[in-house]
């Protein structure tokens, strides 16, 4: 299997949990080549994907049976993607494409991503997406209905169990903590209006802490993506004690899980989008999520919805969502065993799909 990429957590969790499902055929995924040394496996860095080229496919077609694209084609010209599809055709290799994003969260305009989708969706031998809503939009726009296969867990089940025990021992108490993560400020994010409304709500309702976490490249002068308006606003409000501000680089998983588990509610500040791995991590850790209605987040799992899109934010709906989440109390934690069983079912469905494609192409008889 040539998975683009293979090192992403979503792709890793398409395999069954080790030692739990011997009946599911083993899928061997090629390691991501190192972009800086293509003859060697990557050591953490997989972008830009080396395998996503017609030249690599022609030279390495004997190494894989199925080519599965997830992420990583953002910077390619659509003609390069068309050459990838053509190379797979001439080498007799099936193409699977999982449509994670119908709108690229890094692009201000949908035009470039639409051009990529216009190559990949018609050109794939099999399509997957994560929600029924996304599948319906794909069918409406391209006339093809993808298989809908849910997003697997993000946090490992044993880690989920540890946080569930920790939460049970800690019990309730303290102010209601609402978090907004501005990380590296993708084009899809519009956090400042969201944060302003949350601060209003905190003043109106009391007993609530607004916590904002962001990366150094956005919130420190000299950062590659420094946003002066956002950074200066957050600094002022932090000094006045109206919010808690945490500035840091990318957090390792253990620190990221601590941070998310410490929130009562995580507010996704998106004005466009499709699906969210962040949402899945919050579900794994028992943290409620407030999500906008611009994507298919509510199809992924229970969220407290509010209205936010490229036309702007509906402040009243955001306040109502936060109040509803606070009134509801902590969500029932996902059972680690249920998440593990779901992962194995997801792995089995992928294995079935790959086998169907190989039977159709004559590789499996």
H/E element, 291 = strand 288-292
Cβ burial of 241 (10 Å; 0-12, 13-18, 19+) is: exposed
**In angstroms, rounded to a whole number, what is the distance separating the alpha carbons of residues 115 and 97?**
15
* pTM across the whole model: 0.95
Specify the pLDDT at position 41: 85
DSSP 361: H
Specify the pLDDT at position 170: 78
Encode pLDDT of 61-83 as tens digits: 999 999 999 999 998 999 999 99
Section 99-114 average pLDDT: 96
Whether 179 has a pLDDT exceeding 60, the answer reads yes
Phi/psi for 301 (5° steps) reads 180, 175
Whether the Cβ atoms of residue 51 and residue 71 lie closer than 8 Å to each other: no
Q: Please give the mean pLDDT across all residues of the chain.
A: 95
Specify the pLDDT at position 364: 67
Nearest to 277 by CA among 265, 291, 263: 291
């Amino acid at each position: 299997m040539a998975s683009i990429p293979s090192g992403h957590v979503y792709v890793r969790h398409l395999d069954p949990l080790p030692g739990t499902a011997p009946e599911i055929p083993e899928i061997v995924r090629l390691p991501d080549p190192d972009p800086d040394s293509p003859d060697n496996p990557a050591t953490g860095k997989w972008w830009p994907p080396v395998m996503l080229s017609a030249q690599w496919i022609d030279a390495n077609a004997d190494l894989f049976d199925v080519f599965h694209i997830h992420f990583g084609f953002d910077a390619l010209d659509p003609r390069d993607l068309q050459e990838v599809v053509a190379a797979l055709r001439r080498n007799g290799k099936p193409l699977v494409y999982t449509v994670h994003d119908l709108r690229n969260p890094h692009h201000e305009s949908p035009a470039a991503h639409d051009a990529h989708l216009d190559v990949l969706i018609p050109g794939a031998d099999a399509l997957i997406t994560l929600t029924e809503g996304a599948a319906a939009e794909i069918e409406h726009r391209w006339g093809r209905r993808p298989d809908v296969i849910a997003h697997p867990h993000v946090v490992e089940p044993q880690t989920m169990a540890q946080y569930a025990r920790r939460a049970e021992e800690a019990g309730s108490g303290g102010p209601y903590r609402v978090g907004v993560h501005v990380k590296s400020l993708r084009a899809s994010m519009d956090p400042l209006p969201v944060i302003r409304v949350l601060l209003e709500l905190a003043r109106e309702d009391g007993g609530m802490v607004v916590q904002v976490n962001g990366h150094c490249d956005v919130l420190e002068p000299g950062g590659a993506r420094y946003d002066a308006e956002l950074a200066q606003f957050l600094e002022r409000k932090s000094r006045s004690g109206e919010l808690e501000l945490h500035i840091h680089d990318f957090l390792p998983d253990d620190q990221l899980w601590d941070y998310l588990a410490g929130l009562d509610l995580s507010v996704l500040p998106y004005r466009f989008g499709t699906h969210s791995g962040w949402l899945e991590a919050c579900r794994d850790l028992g943290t409620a999520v407030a999500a906008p209605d611009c994507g298919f987040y509510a199809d992924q799992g229970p969220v407290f919805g509010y209205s936010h899109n490229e036309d702007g934010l509906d402040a009243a709906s955001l306040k109502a969502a936060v109040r509803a989440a606070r009134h509801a109390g902590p969500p029932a934690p996902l059972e680690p065993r249920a998440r593990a069983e779901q992962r194995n079912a997801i792995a089995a469905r992928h294995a079935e799909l790959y086998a169907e494609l190989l039977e159709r192409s004559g590789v499996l008889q």
